[in-house]
Amino acid sequence: MDEAALAHDGKEIGSQGGHDTISGWGTRNACKTADLPSTLAALRQTMPVKDAAMSDAVWALGLMSGTSLDGIDVAMILSDGERALDIGPALTVPYEPALRERLRDLLGTRPGERQGAVAEVERLLTDAHAEAVHRLLALTRPRPALIGFHGQTLFHAPDQGITVQIGDGARLAALTNTAVINDFRSADVAAGGEGAPLAPAWHAALACDLPRPLAVLNLGGVGNVTWLSDDRSEPPLAFDTGPGNALLDDWMRTRQGLPHDDGGRLAAQGRVDQEALAALLQHAHFTRPPPKSLDRNAFSAQAVARLCDADGAATLAAFTVAAVAQALSWMPRPPALWLVCGGGRHNPVLMAGLAEALGCPVRPVESEGWNGDALEAQAFAFLAVRAHRRLPLSWPTTTGVPHPVCGGAPHAPPMA
């Protein structure tokens, strides 16, 4: 979605049942003070929130930049951290090509590596996010009480206790004169969790009135799924399914000089190489039980290197579909419906393949009135409200963490 496609649904969502959906998972009083950064108590005294106790809903703005490196998604929601009460405007600001390439060059960078380059790109990234915030706020009211700032993931290896997202929360707070919460994943990883996915609580809040079991599939750079039980007292099950668009995007860039397979046109012209597909599916990720997560670069396209462009694209698309189909084996009951968000929902080859492989309706999230381009940004707005209220962001069934964990690093804007 571009700036011209600014959306404002302006409707109440989930107010007649969403509260029980989330509070029933043991979220109240589940987080100890030690789970949060020590500065949170101070922030709660300085944040420019009309209701300082956050007992009522506030407008929050979320910022998300995924591993596909398309750009910055910006979205506003009205929430109390448990319910989706109103959906505000959203837009996407594409990265400048130079910044995109510098970010791409840093993917896979571990802590302590290339410190000068990381610091410079982090400043540029933060400034780009501030500009994205100002673009949205120039087009809408009201002003958000706080910002949830995901930043850009460079490296994610929870088995090593490492997750790296760059983005300067204090700088963003100063540039926007708004309280910021960032660093959403570190607390979960430090507690033994996967650090991802973090969107399931938002999916549950949005889907409180939809039939269950339900699966919400995000096809970004990495694929991840949220399974929502027909027993609404159960927390969601969530995990990374495998590759989303990353391998196919990289293939298109190196073979065709294009950012992605627009409309699935190249994949539609090719034939799936079953030998290569079988080799790709040998990855250890597929035998690990969930919860589990992946780095963007966890998979290699070496198995398709010998193929022509079209056959390689078709095989990589089939790999994404097969990875999602394998996820079914980890779900307690098959979903009655799959809702798909992320860039992958725009690829007809992926969507048709999913419908065939899963044997049930597969629809873009827009079929339920959701904004598929804004969903991840909305999730981090929601998580910011939850973090401020000291409510959990993750559970044993979503990240494998031993107990519900709060997270987020708060940053108050400079005092006037």
Which two tokens mark 315? 């095989």
Residue 344's nearest CA partner among 229, 256, 241, 203 is 241
Other beta carbons within 10 Å of 136: 22
- The annotation status of 367 as a binding-site residue, yes or no, is no
Beta strand spans in 70-144 (E): 71-79, 84-94
233 annotated as belonging to a binding site for a ligand? no
**What is the torsional sign of CA 180, 103, 297, 375?**
positive
Cα-Cα end-to-end distance for the chain: 35
Closest CA to 299 of 248, 257, 362: 248
> Is 245:342 a contact under the CB 8 Å cutoff?
yes
Virtual torsion, Cα 25, 29, 33, 38, nearest 10 deg = 70
Q: Are 382 and 363 in contact (CB under 8 A)?
A: no
Q: Are 127 and 105 in contact (CB under 8 A)?
A: no
Between CA 357 and CA 348 the distance in angstroms is: 14
Confirm whether residue 68 is marked as ligand binding: yes
Query: Is 67 marked within a binding site?
Result: yes
Pull the structure tokens for residue 233.
Answer: 């007292």
Is 66 annotated as contributing to ligand binding? yes
119, containing H or E segment: helix 115-137
Whole-angstrom distance, CA of residue 265 vs CA of residue 277: 20
Contact residues for 397 (Cβ-Cβ < 8 A; gap 6+): 234, 235, 236, 237, 238, 291
Rounded to whole angstroms, the Cα distance separating 408 from 43 reads: 12
Q: Are the CB atoms for 60 and 176 separated by under 8 Å?
A: no
Q: Is 295 annotated as a binding residue?
A: no
- How far is Cα 391 from Cα 405, in angstroms, rounded to an integer? 8
Residue numbers belonging to the annotated binding site: 66-73
Residue numbers belonging to the annotated binding site for ATP: 66-73
